[in-house]
Amino acid sequence: MSLAEEWWGTAVSRVEPGVIELRGHPIQDLIGRLSFVEMIWLLLRGDRPSPGQAALLEAALVASVDHGPQAPSIAIARMAATCGVGLNSAMASGVNALGDVHGGAGQQCVELLAEIVASGGAVEAVLADWRDRGVKYLPGFGHRIHDVDPRRDPLLSLVDAAVRDGVVGGEYLRAARALADALAPVPMNIDGATAVIYAELGFPAPLARGLFVLSRSVGILAHAYEETQQGRRNKSPLPPSMLPPYLG
């Protein structure tokens, strides 16, 4: 292998004339046989999920697609879509906002759950440690809008079933429930529930953010496209009619 090939070497894909292999599989063997979610798993991890694993991942991806136009990622994409850029750039603008605060809670919660599991369930000690480190917003708990996030319990029920069926081990679910007990009455939120799924499925923490991005990109696209159909140009955050008369 040449230096050039080595520098850009990858285990993800191989491309030659007439050949596209993804994680070692010719693409023509995958089209029509693999679901999109199975492809996501394959590309990120190199192996294929069992049906039960794929179903859990599918549920997490379905749950996070959208949380309304007041979410900054969605609002940004809608505004960008009125400024004369392609849909890809409008989407990029939205995705770019899914940073540590907006898109990182799942990743941080996977890390938190992993610490609890590694500590043998010493929830209070782990919490003390996080607070010592100055963490003010514990990931996966609390919400500005929902007392009980309607996405949480359906997801946790699916994890419960998956534990019963031996699809996943359940240790991260138990850690999350112990954490919820310790933090009551602050409720577990969607990031907590999806973190349980991603952790149970064995995804490393950074991919919890990556998977959230894939999911939320669907809502970002739906909103950006809808906005382009409304004909506005240079959409501002406030409606012109709400601004002082001089901007009316």
Q: Please list every residue from 101 through 140 that binds its own copies, using CB under 8 A.
A: 101-104, 137
| Structure token pair of residue 248 | 């009316």
The CB-of-171 to its own copies minimum distance in angstroms stands at 22
Among residues 120 and 238, whose Cβ is nearest to its own copies?
A: 238
The one among 113, 123, 129, 151 contacting its own copies by CB under 8 A? 151
Q: Which of residues 47-86 bind its own copies (CB under 8 A)?
A: 55, 58-59, 61-63, 65-73, 75-76, 78-80, 82-86
If the CB atoms of residues 120 and 144 are measured against its own copies, the closer one turns out to be 144
Question: What's the token pair of residue 183?
Answer: 């933090």
Does 168 contact its own copies by CB under 8 A?
no
Cα–Cα distance for residue pair 233/168, rounded to 1 Å: 49
Contact 105, 138 (CB under 8 A): no
| Residue of 99, 110, 78, 91 lying closest to 176 (CA atoms) | 110
Question: How far apart are alpha carbons 246 and 240 in whole angstroms?
Answer: 10
CA distance 246 to 248: 6
To the nearest whole angstrom, how small is the minimum distance from the Cβ of residue 205 to its own copies?
A: 10
Q: Which stretch binds its own copies (CB under 8 A): 9-17, 109-117, 165-173, 177-185?
A: 9-17
**For its own copies, the closer CB: 55 or 183:** 55
Cα separation, 67 vs 61, in Å, equals 13
Phi, psi of 14 (to 5 degrees): -135, 130
Min separation Cβ 123 and its own copies, Å: 25
Instruction: Using CB under 8 A, pick the residue from 22, 113, 116, 175 that binds its own copies.
Output: 22
